[in-house]
C-alpha cells in the first residue's frame, strides 16, 4: 500500500507541474513543463545522492578511520540482506542522519559527528537501521525526486509572476491562472511533498526497528536527537531546506508540529508507536540510556561516542575491542573532513 500511495502522490506531483505549465502558457506551456519534469526526474535519478552529500559536506569513511560506525552499518546491512552502502560522516554538532541513493545497490548513509558523540552504540544502531529501512523501501529516490519537483513548481510560480500576465502566452485562465500558479500551486506541491515524507518516516521507523530487533533503541535515539536538534544550529541544513525531509529528525529551526506543513511526524507520536511495537516484541529490551534522561555534563556527553564497554548488537558474541583513538574519521591521514 505504501508503494502504491507513493506512486500516486508522485503522479499527482507531475500532473500538478504540468497543470501549472498549462495555466501559464496553455497546451504549449504544459508540454514544456512535462519536458522539464522528465528532465529533472532523470537528472535526480542519477545525481541526487551526490548533490545532497556535497551540500552537507559529507566525507566518506571506511573500516580504517571509523571502525565502530562502519561496523554497525555493515552488520545492520547484513541483517537486512542489503548491499553494503557507502558510509559518510558529516562534521556537524547536531545529532542527525539521512540516507540517499537511487537504489539499494547505489545507496549511501550519512551521520553527523554529533550523532556518534551523543548517542550510545545501541541508539546509533537504531538510527542507522532506520536509514537502511529507507534504502530498502526505496524512499530515498522517491523523496528526492518529489523535493526536486516541488522546487521546480515553486520556480514556475515565480516565472508566472513575471511572465504569466503577457497576452501572447496562450494562457487560457488569464490573471486567475497566474494567481493560482503563484499562490496555490506551490502550497499544493509542498503538501504533497510533506505527505510523502511523513508517511515514509513511520514506515521506516517500524522497518528499522525490525532490522535492529530493538524498537526501544530507536525510540530512545529519537528522543535524544529531537532535544539536541532544537538547541544546535545546522547551518548546512538551513542553507538547503529542500533536503530537510531526508533527515531522521527535522534539522531546521522552527516548526515541530504534527500538521500538514511539517516535514516530519511529531516525535512523541513516533516514540509512542515504537514503544507499542516493543510491547509486540515482548518488551523489546531496554535502551542504553533512559529516554528521559537528565542532561549530562559535556565531558560525559562526548564520551558516549566510542561506546566503550557497551554490548554489541547481539545475538552474535562481542568481537575483541579495536583501538578507539579515532572512531569518528578525524584522522589527519584519513579523508579530508574540512569543509570546502
**Which residues are known binding-site members for Zn(2+)?**
130, 134, 201
Cα dist. 213→5, 74, 130, 161, 312 in Å? 27, 15, 11, 52, 12
Torsion of CA 104, 146, 35, 8, to 10 degrees: 90
Annotated binding-site residues read 130, 134, 201
**Distance (Å, rounded) from C-alpha 288 to C-alpha 199?**
28
Give me the active site residues, please: 131
Question: Nearest to residue 150, comparing CAs of 142, 139, 160, 138?
Answer: 142
> How buried is 300 (Cβ within 10 angstroms: 0-12 exposed, 13-18 middle, 19+ buried)?
exposed
DSSP string for 119-135 = S-HHHHHHHHHHHHHHH
Alpha-carbon torsion, ordered 196, 199, 204, 207, to 10 deg:
-130
How many CA atoms lie less than 13 Å away from 120 in the CB half-sphere?
A: 21
CA distance 37 to 48: 15
Amino acid at each position: 500500500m505504501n508503494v502504491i500511495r507513493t506512486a500516486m502522490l508522485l503522479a499527482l506531483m507531475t500532473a500538478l507541474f504540468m497543470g501549472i505549465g498549462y495555466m501559464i502558457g496553455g497546451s504549449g506551456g504544459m508540454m514544456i513543463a512535462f519536458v522539464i519534469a522528465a528532465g529533472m526526474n532523470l537528472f535526480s535519478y542519477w545525481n541526487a545522492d551526490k548533490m545532497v552529500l556535497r551540500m552537507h559536506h559529507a566525507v566518506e569513511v571506511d573500516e580504517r578511520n571509523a571502525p565502530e560506525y562502519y561496523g554497525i552499518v555493515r552488520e545492520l546491512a547484513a541483517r537486512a540482506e542489503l548491499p553494503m552502502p557507502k558510509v559518510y560522516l558529516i562534521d556537524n554538532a547536531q545529532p542527525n542522519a539521512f540516507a540517499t541513493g537511487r537504489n539499494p545497490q547505489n545507496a549511501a548513509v550519512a551521520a553527523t559527528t554529533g550523532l556518534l558523540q551523543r548517542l550510545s552504540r545501541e541508539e546509533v544502531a537504531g538510527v542507522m537501521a532506520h536509514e537502511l529501512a529507507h534504502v530498502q523501501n526505496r524512499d530515498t529516490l522517491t523523496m528526492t525526486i518529489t523535493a526536486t519537483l516541488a522546487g521546480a513548481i515553486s520556480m514556475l510560480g515565480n516565472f508566472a509572476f513575471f511572465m504569466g500576465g503577457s497576452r501572447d502566452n496562450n494562457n487560457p485562465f488569464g490573471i486567475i491562472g497566474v494567481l493560482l500558479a503563484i499562490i496555490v500551486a506551490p502550497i499544493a506541491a509542498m503538501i504533497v511533498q510533506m505527505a510523502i515524507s511523513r508517511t515514509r518516516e513511520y514506515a521506516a521507523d517500524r522497518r528499522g526497528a525490525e532490522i535492529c530487533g530493538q524498537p526501544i533503541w530507536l525510540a530512545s535515539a529519537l528522543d535524544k536527537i529531537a532535544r539536541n536538534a532544537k538547541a544546535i544550529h545546522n547551518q548546512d541544513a538551513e542553507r538547503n531546506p529542500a533536503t530537510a525531509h531526508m533527515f531522521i529528525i527535522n534539522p531546521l529551526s522552527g516548526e515541530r508540529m504534527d500538521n500538514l506543513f511539517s516535514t516530519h511526524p511529531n516525535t512523541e507520536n513516533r516514540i509512542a508507536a515504537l514503544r507499542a511495537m516493543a510491547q509486540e516484541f515482548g518488551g523489546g529490551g531496554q535502551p542504553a540510556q533512559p529516554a528521559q534522561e537528565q542532561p549530562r555534563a559535556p565531558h560525559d556527553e562526548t564520551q558516549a561516542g566510542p561506546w566503550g564497554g557497551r554490548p554489541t548488537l547481539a545475538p552474535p558474541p562481542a568481537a575483541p575491542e579495536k583501538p578507539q583513538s579515532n572512531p569518528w574519521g578525524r584522522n589527519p591521514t584519513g579523508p579530508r573532513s574540512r569543509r570546502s
